[in-house]
Structure 1
Amino acid sequence: MIGVARLLTSRCLKWATVTCFIFSIVLVTHLLYPFKPFADQMVMNTNWSRFAYAQYVTNSEYLCNSVMLFEALQHLRSRADRVMIYPSHMLGSDRKSSNARLLAKARDKYDVKLVPITVRHKDNTDPTWADSLTKLLLFNQTQYSRILCIDSDSVLLESMDELFFLPSIPVAMPRAYWLFPMKEILSTMLMLIEPSEVEFARIMSEMDAASSNDYDMEIINSLYRNNAMVLPHRRYALLTGESRSESHAKYLGSEIEPWDPARAYSEAKLVHFSDWPLPKPWLHIDEELRLELQPNCTNTTGGAVDCTARIIWNSFYRDFQMKRKVLLQDFYTTHICFNANKTTGNLQLNWDLPYLV
């Protein structure tokens, strides 16, 4: 019995020694070469010059907006390229013009690659959308594997680099959720594009055949509505006007989920200014109209007044104007980014709270 016990003890010691040895090797290997998830390794090994965030510019006002968005991308440390397609006349012989100086600022300060184009303009149509077909020229930027096009009347809250790693497909977009179920279409405020000669030829053919009432959204939906990848709008396509809605079921996708404006804001990466009849935030906003259209405060179950939605909504407009002032108010760009006849009157921002008026 003693011999058996000694044998078992000897075997246990051997197994313990081997186990400790293996554990030591694993521990040292982990310390020297820490494990990284596959997704992290993929990002680290990515050639980011294959991807780009893109802006399309058709006039001076949208040039100002685009510079603001590129500044946000730099602040968020996005690793993809930055591309701006712009009217070739903006950077013509007069390199000292306001437009030329602002383009140079985008190129030199925010590392934006400038691509001159001819604007696709539609006559005898709503001026708001007359040049919107221009964004579809991004399908021809085949030097990139993927392009993320963002409408410049938006606020970028977080980097969206992760979208470049979605499965391959010609285009991915969020739903125009606010139109559902009357119109089940996709929104072009955000488009993840795979540029190609084939897809660009299809788009050009559709553009040439389009009616006077067909714009970028109609053309894209005509081609891709049934086969595009759908991006979740709750993260990538929040409208400012959602805070003013009486019902949030379309946004939430649920009739029973409670609306929490703070949560909606915290989970959103992109917010799009859309508050008709309120003008865009770089235009003059009548104070009475703002007060009339701002979100209502609500009563909580405990009887308290909750103005969270109002505070967040007002902050989007105020912060946009403040940022525009800080980034773009200088001798060369003030008159194109802050036209006294059209924009927030001489930068006298009259939103110094209280929000709870």
Structure 2
Amino acid sequence: MVRIISKRKLRWLGIIIMIFVLASISVRIVVQFQFNKEIDYYKKFFKQNKDGLSGIYNPLELKQIPEETIDDLYLHELENHIKDIDWNKYAYVTYITDPDYLCNALVLFNSLIKSETFAKLVLLVSGSLFDPEITPPEQIDDINFLLDKLSNMQTFADDQIIIKKVNTIKKVNDDTPWNDSLTKLHIFNQTEFERIIYLDNDAILNHENENLDELFFLPTYITFAAPLTYWFTSIQDVEKSSKVLKKKSKVNINLNYYIKTLKTRIKKGQMIYNHLPSLPDTLYLNAKNLGQDIISSGPLYSPIFDYGTESVGNLKFATDLMVIKPDQAFFDEFMYYELPKILKSNEKYDMDLINGSLFNLKRIIYNQFQLFRKLRKHFVPNVLILPFNRYNLLSGSVKKNDELKILNNDILGYKRLSDSGEEVLFDIEDIVANSKYIHFSDYPLGKPWNYESIDKIKCDVDNDFDFDEADNENNYESNKKICELWNSIYQKYYDRREICFS
């Protein structure tokens, strides 16, 4: 009798579970249908009405800003409000948790000083570097020597350079080189500044007479801006996205059209957000069913409903250069709720937290659309995508032909076209010359300070490239030029590091 009752209970339990699952699926289908209807409506609405809209922002797109538009915004600010700019509210920020990286912090700040920026220069130093149980006494002496040298650099103001000790955020039982990279998160808490430009210090400013001050004057409502990880996508995906924009969405892919339109609107003091080129859906969303993909990025969504969905690319924000509006409440919230999850997880670090919980591309669209549905005219976007050629060139990309093809158009999906409609192509020299910030990244090669001189790592066309009988003299000369350019990037570090020893 007991056995019969148990079977009945199990049968009823199974029926109840089945009813629940079917009801959940039905609700999901209805919600998804409604989402798609709203998405279609608002996509058409903003496409047809953007010229006449004022103060209403498109929540269904992530916007990319061309470098020319960034410069136009900066020039407009200087021409109209130069006397009102309080440079004490702006700062360049970097951090160190490893003594080997300290010299390059001096190199970066010295380049910024030579560029005559008026912004503050802030170095966040891990407190553990001064702990004699962790750092040998002689190394602590070296650290203090370099910090004194940094403090005594000649600047336009005595208080331009600021050195702060911060608590180390370290993953226990993690022996990787990135186990304390979460210390970077302190940059979000530099609330004495209205806006900061964060720079990883395993990088170099390409031109010592140029700074990045223009990034301080992005639209004031933007609280986070960064380039994308172009090395995680492919030229095939980028070309596909461009074709979809042009043929299916009927979008003008000529970047020069946007640059001219935005320049005019900036001069007239008109809003520019809706006129910025959008990141193609196909690069980060399942474009066949946007409603499904937007819903699936919500915080309460269950992966049980992902059956049959298409996977999309790995495009995400790079975290080696970020423009941030620090906010105490935002910092406290993710430190309390999100950081503990990352600390407990294996092989997840600062980039995973920033792209997983804070600024996931799909989650941004979900949050924006949900806010827009509630607030309508009161919705304001806060995220922007920077051009990666100028603000995040990887040194290793110089040697990779596929990545160079992507760098030719760093507003993804769009192209600079000539008057005849032909794509304007840039050679490797133009691409490198245009870059302002170059990140040392040539795995498995280490950082340049791990080697005595350029001679230890120099690119040699005869050793670094394989040629067969089909290769001709033109290929040889082209690769020789690539080697010379790559060597010149690293040589700049070796020349500039003398400031640490002079």
What TM-score, normalized to structure 2? 0.53
Check whether the contact 2:128–2:168 (CA below 8 A) recurs between aligned residues: no
3-state DSSP class of the match of 2:188? helix
**2:233–2:314 Cα contact (<8 Å) kept:** yes
| Whole-Å separation in 1 of the counterparts to 2:102 and 2:457 | 29
**1:144 equivalent in structure 2:** 193
Unmatched 5+ residue regions in structure 1? Answer: 1-35, 331-357
1:58 to 89, 94, 97: 97
> After superposition, where does 1:58-77 map in structure 2 within 5 Å?
58-77=97-116
**How has the CA–CA distance of structure 1 residues 300 and 55 changed in structure 2, closer, same or farther, with 3 Å as cutoff?**
same
Cα displacement (A) at 1:128 = 2.0
Q: Which residue of 2 aligns with 1:106?
A: 150
What is aligned with 1:188? 319
Please tell me the residue identity of whatever aligns with 1:318: Q
Considering fraction of residues, name the structure with more strand: 1
C-alpha displacement of 1:328 = 1.3
Matched residue of 1:66: which SS? helix
Q: Is the 8 A contact 2:224 2:384 kept in 1?
A: yes
Match of 2:340 in 1: 208
Superposition deviation, residue 198 in structure 1: 1.8
- 1:281-334 deviations in Å (ceiling 9; x for gaps): 111388478547757899687x9934322111011112212221x21125xxxx
Q: CA RMSD in A?
A: 3.0
Find 2:355's aligned residue among 221, 243, 260. Answer: 221
CA distance in 2, matches of 1:209, 1:152: 26
- Contact kept in structure 2, 1:187 and 1:217, CA below 8 Å: yes
Q: Could you say if the C-alpha distance between residues 305 and 90 of structure 1 is closer, same or farther in structure 2, counting changes exceeding 3 Å? A: closer
Task: Give the letter aligned to residue 224 of structure 1.
Answer: F
Equivalence for 2:406? 250
In structure 2, what is the equivalent of residue 265 of structure 1?
432
1:273 to 1:296, Cα distance in 2 relative to 1, 3 A: farther
Letter in 2 for 1:213: E
2:218 paired with 1:162: no
**C-alpha offsets along residues 181-204 of structure 1, whole Å, 9 cap, x if unaligned?**
541111001011111112102331
Q: Which has the higher helix share?
A: 2
Q: Is 2:408 the counterpart of 1:237?
A: no
Q: 2:482 is aligned with what amino acid? A: A
CA distance, structure 1, for counterparts of residue 202 and residue 97 of structure 2: 13
Tell me which residue corresponds to 1:79.
Answer: 118
1:28 counterpart residue number: none
Kept in 2: contact 1:296–1:310 (CA 8 A): no
Distance 1:151 1:38 in 2: 27
Secondary structure at the residue paired with 2:315?
A: coil
Given the superposition, is the C-alpha separation of residues 148 and 38 from structure 1 closer, same or farther in structure 2, using an over 3 Å criterion? closer
Q: Aligned equivalents of 1:199 and 1:50: distance in 2?
A: 19
Identify the residue that residue 329 of structure 1 maps to in structure 2.
501
Higher relative contact order (CA 8 A, sep 6+): 2
DSSP 3-state at the match of 1:172: strand
The C-alpha deviation readout for 1:31-74, integer Å capped at 9, x for no partner, is xxxxx955423234200000100011112111111111111110
Compare 130-139 and 277-286 and name the one that shifted more. 277-286
Pair member with larger Rg = 1
Q: Cα–Cα, structure 1 residues 282 and 260, in superposed 2: closer, same or farther, change >3 Å?
A: same
Q: Which secondary structure state, in structure 2, belongs to the residue aligned with residue 274 of structure 1?
A: coil
Q: 1:43 to 1:299 in 2, by over 3 A?
A: farther
Contact 1:173 1:187 in 2 (8 A): yes
State which drifts further: 48-57 or 151-160: 151-160
**Equivalent residue letter for 1:209:** K
CA contact (8 A) 1:156 1:271 kept: yes
The worse-fitting range, judged by mean Cα deviation, of 54-63 and 280-289 is 280-289
Partner of 1:314: 487
Equivalent residue, structure 1, for 2:244: none
Aligned pairs, number: 293
1:117 to 166, 169, 173: 166
Aligned 8 A contact 1:178 1:251 in 2: no
1:252 Cα deviation (Å)? 2.4
- The residue number in structure 2 matching 1:305 is 477
Q: In the superposition, relative to structure 1, how do residues 186 and 38 fare at CA in structure 2: closer, same or farther (>3 Å)?
A: closer
2:448 paired with 1:278: no
**Residues 8-47 of structure 1 aligned to structure 2 (within 5 Å):** 39-47=78-86
Which of 218, 225, 235 is residue 172 of structure 1 equivalent to? 225
Within 2, Cα distance between the matches of 1:89 and 1:241? 32
Taking a change above 3 Å as real, the CA distance of residues 289 and 234 of structure 1, as seen in their structure-2 partners, is: closer
Aligned residue in 1 for 2:255: none
Shift of 1:178: 0.5
